[in-house]
Structure 1
Amino acid sequence: MALYGSAVAWAQAGADCRPGGSVAESNACAVRDYQQADTDLQILYGDVMRALSAHERPALRQGQSAWQRTRVAQCKTAQRAAEALPEWPRLYHECLTTQTRGRRAGLMHWLQHGEAPPS
């Protein structure tokens, strides 16, 4: 059911999106872009999990969970001053999108080396 709700929200964000439009339309574009980046990352994460051996998977799972918590915390902190503004959803989702796209390199390292990238 949650997946269905997510698909509906994604379709709604895409339908309401108009780059350079009103604040609400720009916010919808940012939500849509984040949802696409997150979906792409989840597909890659699944591919990496399937490629790893059973003893490597727990470390990736823990790393991914920690990264997800950090991503949200960093974006909330970065956009805290803008929370009362009508464009806050755009700013917050743009931050999430940037963080999400950046995680791709870490997952690709796992795929190529079977371990977390060096810190």
Structure 2
Amino acid sequence: MNALFSPSLLGTAILALALLPGSSHAQAGGACDRAAADAAARNACAVQDFQAADTANTILYGDVMRALSAHERPALRRDQSAWSRQRTQGCKAAHARDEALEDWPARLHHCLRQATEARRAALLHWLQHGEAPAQR
């Protein structure tokens, strides 16, 4: 595998970007202030919370990739890519009617964070069993 695109390097890069000062401000349009009642603050906090969950997910994914055998890794890559697409499409579809609302970014990022946190169980299953969890 090309060292420039290794999962550990990708995880490190994402973590570094998430920790940059002001990264959540630029995407959310304001500073996160959990005590504030305005939409801009709620939006900023939701983006920040999503970024933290996404970073933790990326780190766990990298750890699982390193733990799996070489023949198990391609299946996890496909599964993670499919999950990522579904997460984005599902949350956008679920909140499409809210796009005109001032707090739409908060609603969207809350959905993305919940889906990302739920993915943890699937990644841990991969770690323990070397395969995707059974579909329900």
What's the TM-score, normalizing by structure 1?
Answer: 0.91
d(CA) in 2 for partners of 1:114, 1:62: 13
Alignment partners' CA distance in 2, 1:79 and 1:11: 22
- Aligned-pair RMSD on alpha carbons? 1.9
Deviation at 1:10, TM superposition (A): 3.5
Give unpaired runs (5+ residues) of structure 2: 1-12
Q: Check whether the contact 2:98–2:104 (CA below 8 A) recurs between aligned residues.
A: yes
Specify the alignment match of 1:98 in structure 2. Answer: 114
- The number of equivalent residue pairs is 117
2:23 counterpart letter in structure 1: A
> Is the deviation greater in 109-118 or in 3-12?
3-12
Structure with the higher fraction of residues in helix conformation: 1
- In 2, are the aligned partners of 1:38 and 1:100 still within 8 Å (CA)? yes
Query: What is the TM-score of this pair, normalised by structure 2?
Result: 0.80
Where does the alignment leave 5 or more consecutive residues of structure 1 unmatched?
none
Counterpart amino acid of 1:80? A
4+ residue runs of structure 1 moved beyond 4 angstroms?
A: 2-6
Does structure 2 retain, via aligned residues, the 8 Å contact 1:20–1:26?
no
Q: 2:55 is paired with a residue of what secondary structure? A: helix
Percent of aligned positions that are identical: 55
Match of 2:79 in 1: 63
> More relative contact order in 1 or in 2 (CA 8 Å, sep 6+)?
1
Aligned partner of 2:95 among 79, 82, 85:
79
